[in-house]
Structure 1
Amino acid sequence: MGGSVRPTMAFPSAPSALWIVSLLTVLFTAVVHSDNVGDDDPLQPMTSDETVSVGGTVTLTCKVAESDNSSLQWSNTAQQTLYFGEKRALRDNRIQLHRSTPTELSITIADVLLSDEGEYTCSIFTMPVRTARATVTVLGVPDKPQISGFETPVRDGETVTLTCTSTGSKPPARLRWYKGKEEVEGRPDVVESVPDEPTYNVSSELTLEVSASDNNVPITCVVDHPSLAPEDKRSEQALQVLYSPRVHISPDEMLPIEGQKFSLRCFGKANPEPHDFSWERKGEELPPLARADGDVLSFSMLNKSDNGVYICRADNGIGKGMEEYTLQVQDTTAMSTSSGVDHAVIGGVVAVIVFILLCLLIVLGRYLIRHKGTYLTHEAKGSDDAPDADTAIINAEGGHSGAEDKKEYFI
């Protein structure tokens, strides 16, 4: 044919043709590197390194400042073409086109694997071919930590060593210990690499000397890792400490009175709970009217002879605890005297209040009487000199003017 044919660049659809394109990309990259192109080149691709956790999604973006209608391409770490413009080249449904314009090619990789880590290449097919690289760092998410070494309760004063282990982290995770809400220091983390895997297993030990106050206190192991939110993964285990009873005696009445009923109750705080209680009176036998029934010592009728120091002992199999209570029985005379004093105080207060009220009433009464008298005096003025009743009324209503007029009349 006489006309000239303008060469065009068509993207091959067959897989073999895509591999040829990939191979050409490698050859061009080996000959001409992006480092040979100036930073102010508007056709030079620009990329950025990315970090993603296993199972997450990463977006790879390649941009140029200007376009000469050349196609952009993304290749993976094995230099396999992933996307050439808008066309998928690798059959991996995890890889999807995010955006394709003359100046940008963005793709996403979902459900990221550790094997996806590496250097990805963006190329633009100009003459010469220009490239840029983006490093994808994949974080191995550590598993939930496991605490071991505390299978059975320990006694008060003993030492316990706990071990916290977390697997599958990349880079190695850091383990932190808490006792209650307070952070405590464990031994330095032990890091072990996993055979044939780029991940690590991390363990840490915590040694504690426990006391009774540590019973039911939670011990927590927390994993610190860039792939996790703060304290996102943690394990907790409560300490179980066996200790002897801490005994306390509580009376049912704060003021024991002669002739009344009275009882003492013995409380034993322990782990396990105390199961055996005993009562005694220091240096003497228990009174005849006192009856011990487990943790309660009761008196059917108090007597002054019941005074003394009473002892409760509690046993839980781990140890024994005791507490003393001094009983002082108050007789009815003392109570009457005390009651009389109270009544006298109350009576004095009432008398003062009554006296103040009386004073206020007297002052108020005098004030009212004084003002009432002044009113009556003004009201009657001018009526005393009247010759008859009618004139008195007229004088009372008219005030002094009538009287003055009358006086002038007679003159």
Structure 2
Amino acid sequence: MSCIIRCSGKDVSKSISVLLGNDITIPCQILPVEESPLVLWEKIWPLPEFQLLTYNDRTTNNSKYVTIRNNSLIIRRVTLKDEGVYQCEIGDVKYKVSLNVSVSMTLLELTYDGSLPFTAGTAVALICRSTHSRPPADLRWFHGIADVTIKASKTLKKLTDENGFGNSEGILSVLIKDEQSDIPYRCIADLPGHHTVKTVFLFPLTTCFGNSEGILSVLIKDEQSDIPYRCIADLPGHHTVKTVFLLSLTTSSSSGITSWYTWLIIFFLSLFY
């Protein structure tokens, strides 16, 4: 269960979400007080994990916590343990922020009844399933560039464990109208504060299957720069059908690559419909 629910009685001023492994900036919306120059950032919940994180421009963990000029707190490479309530304190004024950590789904798939290719006049039920995300994802539907979410069934969400992970499922019933138009259907999975975490496509008149593979060798140069590598899959007439990202210095345990000269092999295998 996320901190948004559990911390409802903690007099929180603001709630924000971050995707696991990303950095997050938490604002301190307190006007500076000249006679009290001391600025503190603390993690005050869940108890008994009270922690002093920073005081003025000093930090208790250089690799994890940083403050910037407007007194905001940066938390690097967020893990599930970072979820909780953070407090900025200047003089007698306190500002509390609830931080909630989202986790991308392990799988997003788009299935259908019947078999491809669909023919004109065929009624088809498209089923989009998101598996094991935190929290269960919201699903949106598109036909080409048109948002058709309103025509789909309400997204069903189900928690699968006490830590807030769960699955989502949505159904879109469509009528194939024109055999000459292969406009794709698209299901998009969103998490709180993060739109389009993953996307899947279906081309209703396409039956050609095939695999593609590409290898990119790179040299990691700077431990401080976690610029993502991105592989994009295109189909004829449809650019960016699917995209995958890799943050080279980010892992699920929040530990980075330690050698500047580590060679990275990116392997991408996609199955097109």
- CA separation in 2, counterparts of 1:68 and 1:165? 53
Please state how far the C-alpha of 1:240 moved relative to its aligned partner: 3.2
Q: What are the superposed Cα offsets for residues 99-148 of structure 1, whole Å, 9 maximum, x if unpaired?
A: 4xxxx854321222344232223346x7xxx3514123335264474212
Aligned partner of 2:40 among 42, 48, 73? 73
**Structure 1 136/112 Cα, relative in aligned 2: closer, same or farther at 3 Å?**
farther
- CA separation in 2, counterparts of 1:159 and 1:49? 46
For residue 237 of structure 1, what is the aligned residue in structure 2? 202
Q: Does 1:137 align with 2:128?
A: no
For residue 116 of structure 2, what is the aligned residue in structure 1? 153
**Structure 1 50/161 Cα, relative in aligned 2: closer, same or farther at 3 Å?**
closer
Q: Does 1:189 align with 2:160?
A: no
TM-score, length-normalised on structure 2?
A: 0.53
Compute the RMSD of aligned alpha carbons. Answer: 3.7
Q: Does 1:98 align with 2:62?
A: no
Would you say the 8 A contact 1:214–1:241 is kept in 2? no
Would you say the 8 A contact 1:212–1:241 is kept in 2? no
Please state how far the C-alpha of 1:214 moved relative to its aligned partner: 6.9
Q: What are the superposed Cα offsets for residues 234-280 of structure 1, whole Å, 9 maximum, x if unpaired?
A: 221111389xxxxxxxxxxxxxxxxxxxxxxxxxxxxxxxxxxxxxx
1:213 match: secondary structure:
coil
Structure 1 or 2: more strand by fraction:
2
Structure 1 or 2: more helix by fraction:
1
Q: What are the superposed Cα offsets for residues 160-201 of structure 1, whole Å, 9 maximum, x if unpaired?
A: 322112346555543222334444412211101241432442
- CA separation in 1, counterparts of 2:147 and 2:73? 44
Pairing 1:282-301 to 2, within 5 Å after superposition: none
Q: Does 1:120 align with 2:91?
A: no
**Structure 1 122/220 Cα, relative in aligned 2: closer, same or farther at 3 Å?**
closer
Would you say the 8 A contact 1:159–1:209 is kept in 2? yes
Pairing 1:204-283 to 2, within 5 Å after superposition: 204-210=170-176, 213=179, 216-229=182-195, 233-240=198-205
What amino acid does structure 2 have at the position aligned with 1:58?
T
Pairing 1:10-409 to 2, within 5 Å after superposition: 49=14, 51-54=16-19, 55-61=22-28, 63-68=31-36, 71-76=38-43, 77=45, 78-89=49-60, 91=61, 93-99=63-69, 105-123=71-89, 130=92, 132-138=94-100, 140=102, 142-143=104-105, 145-149=108-112, 152-153=115-116, 156=119, 157-167=121-131, 172-184=136-148, 185-210=151-176, 213=179, 216-229=182-195, 233-240=198-205
**Structure 1 154/131 Cα, relative in aligned 2: closer, same or farther at 3 Å?**
same
Would you say the 8 A contact 2:39–2:55 is kept in 1? yes
Please state how far the C-alpha of 1:94 moved relative to its aligned partner: 1.6
Q: Which piece of structure 1 moves more, 136-145 or 182-191?
A: 136-145
TM-score, length-normalised on structure 1?
A: 0.37
1:119 match: secondary structure:
strand
What amino acid does structure 1 have at the position aligned with 2:157?
V
> Between Structure 1 and Structure 2, whose CA radius of gyration is higher?
1
**Structure 1 168/114 Cα, relative in aligned 2: closer, same or farther at 3 Å?**
farther
Of the two structures, which has the highest relative contact order with CA contacts closer than 8 Å and spacing of 6 or more? 2
Would you say the 8 A contact 1:95–1:107 is kept in 2? yes
2:179 match: secondary structure:
helix
What amino acid does structure 1 have at the position aligned with 2:186?
T
